């Protein structure tokens, strides 16, 4: 019985995460309008490098409002905006969650309920997954991520800006 409980705790510790809103982050279009989305933060420890050291990495999980993700054409995954996008600014990575149903939003918390939720398909220039990748460029400079808008985000301008305000 004790081993079962320890196993359940270990499984929960490695597969379930509760994330809070990322303090100080904003998301807007190049037209200055705020984008209806929440930005959550998850800090993970990456794998050890060849020297045996590891470091903490912040992952930003963007949760777009349902008003943006509902009623989109089903025939074009290239321009489709999915509910969750993961951005790892320090590693200059952006992608779709590998398991879109692996998150559950509860007020100002985001709960990851599946280990594959934070695996992702790269979005920037990925011609292996997209015929016409939705994100053509992304820059990661000084607490700011900028990428071209696509799909329903185009009504906010040509680019999207995620910025950490100090």
pLDDT in tens, 69-101: 887 766 666 678 888 899 999 889 998 877 777
Strand-strand pairing, 37-45 and 56-64: antiparallel
Which pLDDT score is estimated for 15? 63
Burial label for 105, CB within 10 Å (0-12, 13-18, 19+), is middle
Strand locations in the chain (E): 17-21, 25-29, 37-45, 56-64, 84-88, 93-97, 103-106, 109-112, 120-122, 138-141, 144-148, 159-164
Domain ranges of the chain: 17-164
pLDDT in tens, 105-130: 888 998 888 776 667 788 888 888 88
């Amino acid at each position: 019985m004790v081993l079962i409980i320890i196993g359940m705790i270990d499984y929960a510790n490695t597969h379930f995460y509760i994330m809070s809103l990322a303090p100080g982050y904003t998301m807007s279009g190049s037209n200055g309008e705020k984008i209806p989305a929440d930005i959550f933060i998850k800090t993970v420890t990456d794998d050890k490098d060849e020297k045996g050291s590891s470091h903490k990495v912040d992952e930003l999980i963007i949760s777009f409002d349902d008003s943006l993700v509902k009623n989109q054409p089903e025939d074009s995954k290239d321009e489709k905006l999915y509910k969750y996008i993961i951005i790892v600014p320090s590693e200059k990575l952006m992608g779709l969650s590998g398991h879109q149903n692996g998150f559950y939003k509860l007020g100002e918390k985001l709960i990851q309920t599946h280990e594959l939720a934070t695996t992702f398909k790269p979005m920037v220039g990925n011609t292996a997954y997209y015929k016409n990748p939705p994100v053509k460029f992304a820059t990661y400079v000084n607490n700011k991520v900028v990428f071209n808008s696509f799909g329903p985000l185009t009504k906010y301008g040509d680019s999207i800006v995620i910025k950490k305000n100090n």
